[in-house]
Amino acid sequence: MPLPSSIVILTGAGISAESGLGTFRDKDGIWTKYPLEDLATPEGFARNPDFVHGFYNDRRRQLKTARPHAGHEAIARLQTACEAEGREFLLVTQNVDNLHEQAGSTNVVHMHGELTQIRCMACHAVMEWHEDIGREVPCPSCSEAGYLRPHIVWFGEMPLEMDRISLALSHCSLFISIGTSGAVYPAAGFVQEALYAGAKTVELNLEPSENAHVFSESQYGPASEILPGWVERLIA
């Protein structure tokens, strides 16, 4: 059976769970331990930048030892198969880790930003950064100190590359949602956009998400266990 003409995949924190990076809304999730308003909003950062820098510094450090699993590798194989047949493929992730890239995925759209990038609020430069940052660190681009922030999309801020994502959704034939609770917009609305485009919609998750009823097909279980078989059946 030929591969679908155009695939869009959306991933969330669930696909990084088995690599040891925390999810947000599961039991013991990040937002059950840390106040979202103080850590993932521009207001929270303005109130206490050191607290927010510390939170993201900890998560950036975790990246150094986190490794992708068979689920990430299956997604990278699917991209290779699609591109070998000239099919369109777009991987959009809500995650700010680099596990998809470590597994071989390319052109990954990080709609909520990346832990390994920082942004200067004085000169607006966005730069690769793998170490801790703090208020005292001068911007490598404009040398101003006190203006660096994580290049992360917080609540109330516009996610990145939305035009590119909407264009891909408007003509996709298969939309696959993996490891996300469907609690955060606009990502949680992508399945509806794909449906309007006439796409087949699939949810692969540990358990039904908040918009599970919208999907035409679903399979539940840990991503490292269910993704490889699901992708092999699609590619075969």
The site for ligand BV8 (CB under 6 A) is made up of 12-14, 17-18, 23-26, 29, 40, 94-96, 112, 152-159, 179-181, 183-186, 205-207, 209, 222-223
Catalytic residue list = 112
Bridge partners of residue 120, in order along the sequence: 148
Q: At what angle do helices 70-84 and 223-235 cross, to 10 degrees?
A: 20
Residue 231 CB, shortest distance to ligand BV8, in Å, is: 14
Sheet order of strands, 200-205 included: 109-110, 88-93, 6-11, 174-178, 200-205, 217-220
Chain position whose Cβ is nearest to ligand BV8? 14
- Report in angstroms how near the CB of residue 97 gets to ligand BV8 at its nearest: 9
The least CB distance from residue 3 to ligand BV8, in Å, is 23
Q: Which residue lies nearer to ligand BV8 by CB, 59 or 87?
A: 59
Complex with ligand BV8: residue 6 or 11, whichever CB lies closer: 11
Beta carbon nearer to ligand BV8, 6 or 105: 105
List the beta bridge partners of residue 119.
126, 149
Tokens of 225: 């266990």
* Shortest reach from residue 130's CB to ligand BV8, in Å: 17
CB within 8 A of 217, min separation 6: which ones?
A: 200, 201, 202, 203
